[in-house]
């Protein structure tokens, strides 16, 4: 006996087609609609007021509608069964998020709407992409390549021309003192992080259907745009990761590994061009502003030291359950940390307490393991880079679509590789 009514084939096809279309749209919105753009359009995303749905990124709203259509398409009972069979680690992760979203408002009186965009959307995106046909995944893959190229070009032009496509907002405050570019992805740190991760996967060969002859130019475009976003940690981490990979490749070649002669041709042609390019821009404001951030970080390093001193202001009981939000806010203001705590681990521990934060960290670790099981070693390296970059910023403890962008990027590039198969088990 069927557990739910069998739908007519035509109805099933319409629901399926709409769900795939909305999945594509949600990815496109996540890569193109930044919080700065939403503020410019009057969408109350990070500001007070507005309608309830305005507190969620439009890409997340569309993503949740697509997931609701998946439930309609499969039926509730079958959906639950498939989730428990194919996405066990993600289900546990979502369970940890639900517990966090119940605990924090009730016990601490803090809002938790950021969890939907920052941490829940990546899990939903992974589930939907696993149920997306290969043709649509290829379209998403080309969409991601195109948008990342456009983002790099816009970011570079913004820095070179001292112009912004969209005004730089932090909440409802217009920022006119920061030279860093915002481009399509919004906040400079999000731009720098996603750019570095995308550049790393291009360099190491995880590029989906992008032809090999386009990989190096695409990598150099992202590398050239990185100074415009001012991400020192992202730039250094990418340099170290790329250096390790190139050294490993050199050792393999010296040990007798075969390699295409076209690679030597690319190196012979690009090295002089790269050297001339570096010489031309070495004295330009485009590079000097970025280099100056290593010399004068405007107190960023000092901020990271001061935030650790906040732990000493609370008892172990307060730290375990969760410090009083008003007391913490007053201490942050005193220390000049009102714009955020520059480490998502520290931010969660201080704003939510050790108990519930530990549960959330456990779930997040399971989700990273789940994604790691689905991607090759290049994807695992990119996930490691993503985690490292977020430990040096508010990252997962603030409204951001970074993790969703990275998850979509890695899964789509993995599943659209030539002769790639998909195994949703996890």
Confidence of residue 336 (pLDDT cuts 50, 70, 90): low
pLDDT value at residue 130: 94
Q: How many CA atoms lie within 13 A of 408 on its CB side?
A: 34
CB 182 within 8 A of CB 117: no
How far are the Cα atoms of 54, 204, 402 from residue 22, in angstroms, in the given order? 19, 31, 20
List, in sequence order, every residue forming a beta bridge with 170; answer none if it has no partner: 173
Residue 421 lies in a domain: no
Domain count, the chain: 1
Q: Answer whether residue 256 shows pLDDT above 80.
A: no
pLDDT, one tens digit per residue, over 54-91 is: 889 999 999 999 999 999 998 999 999 999 999 999 99
pLDDT, one tens digit per residue, over 340-370 is: 666 788 888 888 889 999 999 999 999 999 9
Q: Answer whether residue 262 shows pLDDT above 80.
A: no
Instruction: Compute the average pLDDT of residues 209-227.
Output: 89
78-82, 197-201, 226-230: segment of lowest average pLDDT: 226-230
Residue 184 lies in a domain: yes
Residue 422 lies in a domain: no
CB 40 within 8 A of CB 166: yes
Residue 423 lies in a domain: no
112-128 exposure pattern, b = at least 16 Cβ within 10 A, e = fewer: bebbbbbbbbbbbbbbb
d(CA 225, CA 221): 6
d(CA 23, CA 129): 8
209-213, 251-255, 395-399, 405-409: segment of lowest average pLDDT: 251-255
d(CA 122, CA 367): 9
d(CA 263, CA 216): 10
Confidence of residue 406 (pLDDT cuts 50, 70, 90): very high
Residue 347 lies in a domain: yes
Share of the chain above pLDDT 70, in %: 80
d(CA 89, CA 96): 11
Of 309, 280, 324, which Cα lies nearest the Cα of 109? 324
pLDDT value at residue 266: 54
SS (H, E, C) the chain: CCCCCCCCHHHHHHHHHHHHHHHHHHHHHHHHCCHHHHHHCCCCCCCCCCCHHHHCCHHHHHHHHHHHHHHHHHCHHHHHHHHHHHCHHHHHHHHHHHHHHHHHHHHHCCCCCHHHHHHHHHHHHHHHHHCCCHHHHHHHHHHHHHHHHHHHHHHHHHHHHCCCCCCCEECCEECCCCCCCCCCCCCHHHHHHHHHHHHHHHHHCCCCCCCHHHHHHHHHHHHHHHHHHCCHHHHHHHHHHHHHHHHHHHHHHHCCCCCCHHHHHHHHHHHHHHHHHHHHHCCCHHHHHHHHHHHCCCCHHHHHHHHHHHHHHCCHHHHHHCCCHHHHHHHHHHCCCCCCCCCHHHHHHHHHCHHHHHHHHHHHHHHHHHHHHHCCHHHHHHHHHHHHHHHCCCHHHCCCCHHHHHHHHHHHHHHCCCCCCCCCCC
Please give the residue range of the domain that contains residue 46: 9-415
How far are the Cα atoms of 228, 238, 305 from residue 235, in angstroms, in the given order? 11, 5, 22
Instruction: Compute the average pLDDT of residues 264-286.
Output: 54
Average pLDDT of the chain, as a whole number:
83
pLDDT value at residue 4: 42
User: Cβ of 188: how many Cβ atoms within 10 Å?
Assistant: 21
pLDDT value at residue 84: 92
């Amino acid at each position: 006996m069927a557990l739910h009514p069998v739908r007519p084939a035509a109805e099933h096809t319409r629901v399926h087609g709409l769900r795939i279309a909305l999945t594509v749209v949600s990815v496109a919105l996540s890569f193109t609609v930044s919080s700065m753009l939403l503020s410019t359009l009057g969408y109350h995303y990070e500001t007070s007021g507005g309608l309830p749905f305005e507190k969620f990124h439009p890409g997340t709203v569309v993503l949740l509608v697509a997931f609701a259509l998946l439930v309609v398409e499969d039926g509730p009972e079958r959906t639950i069964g498939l989730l428990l069979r194919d996405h066990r680690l993600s289900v546990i992760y979502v369970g940890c998020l639900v517990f966090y979203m119940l605990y924090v408002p009730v016990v601490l009186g803090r809002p938790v709407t950021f969890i939907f965009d920052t941490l829940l959307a990546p899990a939903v995106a992974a589930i939907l992409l696993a149920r997306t046909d290969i043709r649509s995944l290829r379209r998403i893959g080309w969409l991601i390549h195109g948008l990342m190229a456009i983002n790099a070009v816009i970011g570079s032009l913004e820095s070179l021309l001292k112009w912004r496509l969209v005004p730089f907002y932090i909440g409802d405050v217009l920022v006119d003192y920061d030279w860093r570019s915002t481009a399509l992805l919004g906040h400079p740190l999000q731009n720098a992080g996603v750019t570095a991760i995308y550049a790393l996967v291009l360099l190491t060969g995880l590029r989906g259907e992008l032809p090999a002859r386009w990989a190096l130019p695409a990598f150099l475009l992202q590398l050239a745009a990185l100074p415009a976003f001012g991400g020192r940690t992202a730039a250094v981490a990418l340099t170290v990761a790329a250096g390790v990979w190139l050294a490993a490749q050199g050792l393999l070649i010296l040990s007798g590994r075969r390699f295409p002669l076209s690679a030597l041709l690319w190196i012979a042609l690009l090295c002089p061009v790269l050297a001339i390019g570096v010489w031309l821009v070495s004295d330009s404001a485009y590079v000097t502003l970025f280099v100056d951030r290593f010399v004068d970080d405007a107190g960023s390093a000092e901020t990271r030291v001061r935030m650790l001193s906040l732990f000493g202001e609370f008892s172990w009981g307060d730290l375990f359950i969760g410090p009083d939000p008003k007391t913490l806010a007053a201490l942050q203001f005193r220390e000049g940390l009102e714009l955020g705590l520059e480490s998502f681990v520290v931010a969660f521990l201080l704003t939510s307490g050790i108990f519930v934060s530990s549960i959330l960290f456990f779930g997040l670790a399971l989700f990273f393991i789940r994604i790691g099981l689905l991607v090759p070693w290049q994807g695992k390296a990119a996930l490691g880079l993503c985690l490292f970059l977020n430990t040096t910023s508010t990252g997962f403890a603030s409204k951001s679509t970074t993790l969703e962008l990275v998850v979509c990027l890695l899964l789509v590039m993995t599943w659209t590789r030539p002769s790639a198969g998909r195994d949703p088990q996890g």
